[in-house]
A = this chain, B = another copy of it.
Amino acid sequence: MIVTVTPNPALDLTYSVDALVPHRVHRVAAVAERAGGKGVNVARVLHAIGEPVLATGFLGGATGGRVTDLLTADGVAASFTATAAETRRTVAVVDGGDATGFWEPGPPVSAAEWSALVAHLGDLLAEADVVALCGSLPPGAPIDGYATLIRLAAAAGVPTVLDTSGEALRRGLAAGPTLAKPNAAELTALLAGGDSAADLADTARALAPDAGAVVVSRGALGLLAVTGDGVWAAGPPVPLPGNPTGAGDACVAALARGLRDRTAWPALLADAVALAAAAVAAPVAGAIDSDVYLRTLPRVTVTTADGGPRARTHR
């Protein structure tokens, strides 16, 4: 099975209102609740495409209990480490335009709680094919926390996918994850550089000399994969309208599955682009539109870094 780790999950609330007017009171017409956080979204995508998955990380209090209930209702297996602090919420207010978001700060974790998560992941590694480490670290977690988990998995022979940002990404990259999936902005925030394919590849190599591969997501441009076997670019046939939230999480889900199956890079990248496109077409993060996935997959363009077409591929 694939294990996703979400150290800083959330209860995601979506409020529908007619029009958001600052400094007024709005009666919310409809409320949608779902389990949130990058690794939780990755787990829901994997479950949606029929892959065995277990979600772990931290949850606490009544809000954490609600997240567990929602994962259960979604059919996603979960085994989280309890925190004394209450799990955070995110509120997205939708009024016809883009959403207006309010993100609560993550609750703090204690040193003992962090150690409990490390030990729990250690136990889960016996059954794990791949570990996906996703999202921000909560206050109180060691800033090299992902590096610790990457080394723990490597010692057990379990490949890792890292999707985070900032100092947690820098420290994590230094520990040599099997694969890292920053977006272009997250990568260039660590080491200023251009955002052309060649510049991004240089930055990825400089930051991650020991990482097996860095797959950079570039929004509508698709993916750039900097690997030991070469550099590939993979893009969707057409830009897709929809909800970009969760596209990165769907991409990570495909990459984790591909690592497990030792899928060749061109096919793996095509799958990741198609699954991300299927997430863009779905209304909420963690969900996919299967028709878009199946329609997009054979039409993803994968080229080598020098720009020539290398493969037009599908699974």
Which A residues are closer than 8 A to B by beta carbons? 13, 15, 17, 20-31, 61-63, 65-66, 69, 86, 88-89, 91, 93, 95, 97-105
**Chain B neighbourhood of A15, CB < 8 A:** 91, 102, 104
Closest partner residue, chain B, to A69 (CB atom): B62
Nearest CB on B from A67, distance (A): 9
Given contacts A21-B100, A26-B103, A66-B86, 5 further A-B contacts (CB under 8 A): A23-B99, A24-B101, A25-B103, A26-B101, A62-B66
Q: List 8 A-B pairs, Cβ < 8 Å.
A: A15-B102, A23-B99, A24-B101, A26-B103, A28-B103, A31-B104, A62-B63, A63-B66
Residue from the set A20, A62, A66, A89 with the largest chain B CB neighbour count within 10 Å: A62
B66 touches A105 (CB 8 A): no
The answer, among B26, B27, B102, for a CB contact under 8 Å with A28, is B102
Closest partner residue, chain B, to A70 (CB atom): B62
**Chain B neighbourhood of A29, CB < 8 A:** 105
**Chain B neighbourhood of A69, CB < 8 A:** 62
Closest partner residue, chain B, to A88 (CB atom): B31
Closest partner residue, chain B, to A93 (CB atom): B102
**Chain B neighbourhood of A95, CB < 8 A:** 22
Closest partner residue, chain B, to A25 (CB atom): B101
CA distance A61 to B22 in the complex (A): 30
Return the 4 tightest CB-CB contacts between A and B, nearest first: A25-B101, A62-B66, A23-B98, A62-B62
Nearest CB on B from A43, distance (A): 20
With contacts A61-B66, A62-B62, A63-B66 taken as known, whether A102 is within 8 angstroms of B22 at the C-beta atoms is: no
